[in-house]
Amino acid sequence: MTERSMRDRMLAGELYIADDPELARDMERAAALSHRLNTMDPTDAAARRAVLTDLLGAFGPDSEIRPPFRCDYGYQTFIGARTFANYGLMCLDVARITIGDDVQMGPNVQLLTPTHPVAAGPRRDKWEAARPITIGDNVWLGGGVIVLPGVTIGDNTVVGAGAVVTRDLPPNVVAVGNPARIIREVEQ
C-alpha cells in the first residue's frame, strides 16, 4: 500500500503538512496567477476573466472579482454566476470554498478554511487541516466580514460589515457582530 500524498490528505480534509513540495508548487501557481490578475490593466475585463477562469475551480458567467485578490490554491474556490467581490477578497482555500449565484461581497472579505491543532506538538510540527465554507445564493457579505472554517451561510442572508461568522447561518436572516448573531429576518 502506498502512502497518500499531502495533497490527497488536504483534499480529504485530513491533517497534512502545508510546506509539502507538491502543495508548494500548487501555491506558487496560484501566487503567479494572482499576481498577474492583481497587476494587469484594470480595464481589460476579458483578460481578468481568463486569468480567473484558469485560477479558480469555477468562475460563473457575469461574475467579477476586483483586484487585489488572494488565495492559497485557487482550484478549491468555486464561484457561481453574477457574483461580485469588491477589492481585497481573500480565499484561504485549503478546503473547498463554494460561493453561490448573485452573491455580493464588500471590500476585504476573508473566507478562511484552515484549522490548526490546539495541541502544541502537532502545531509545532506544522500539521494543519481545513473545513469547507459554503456561501448560498443571493448572500450579501458586508465589508471586512470574516467567515471561519466549516461555516455555511444560507440563501438570501445578509452579514453586516465587520462581522465574524463562527457558525452556520440559516437562510433569510441578517447577522452582525463578533461573533455574528442573528438580529432579524430578511424582508422578502
pLDDT on residue 3: 79
Classify residue 42 as exposed, middle or buried by CB count within 10 Å of its CB (0-12, 13-18, 19+).
exposed
This prediction has a pTM of 0.95
Q: Specify whether the CB–CB gap between 154 and 169 falls below 8 A.
A: yes
pLDDT digits (tens, 9 = 90+) for 121-132: 999 999 999 999
Give 1-13 as a DSSP string: -PPPPHHHHHHTT
pLDDT on residue 161: 98
Average pLDDT estimate for 106-125: 95
pLDDT on residue 154: 98
pLDDT on residue 69: 98
Q: Specify whether the CB–CB gap between 102 and 83 falls below 8 A.
A: yes
pLDDT digits (tens, 9 = 90+) for 5-41: 999 999 999 999 988 999 999 999 999 999 999 999 9
pLDDT digits (tens, 9 = 90+) for 116-174: 999 999 999 999 999 999 999 999 999 999 999 999 999 999 999 999 999 999 999 99
Lowest mean pLDDT among 28-32, 49-53, 58-62, 119-123: 119-123
Classify residue 111 as exposed, middle or buried by CB count within 10 Å of its CB (0-12, 13-18, 19+).
buried
- Residue boundaries of the structural domains of the chain: 6-185
Choose the catalytic residue: 81, 116, 128, 161.
116
How many Cα atoms are found within 13 Å in the side-chain-facing hemisphere of 134?
9
pLDDT on residue 2: 57
The superfamily CATH assigns to domain 6-185 is Hexapeptide repeat proteins (2.160.10.10)
pLDDT on residue 1: 41
Residues 6+ apart with CB under 8 A from 30: 55, 71, 72, 73, 74, 75
Annotated catalytic, 35?
Answer: no
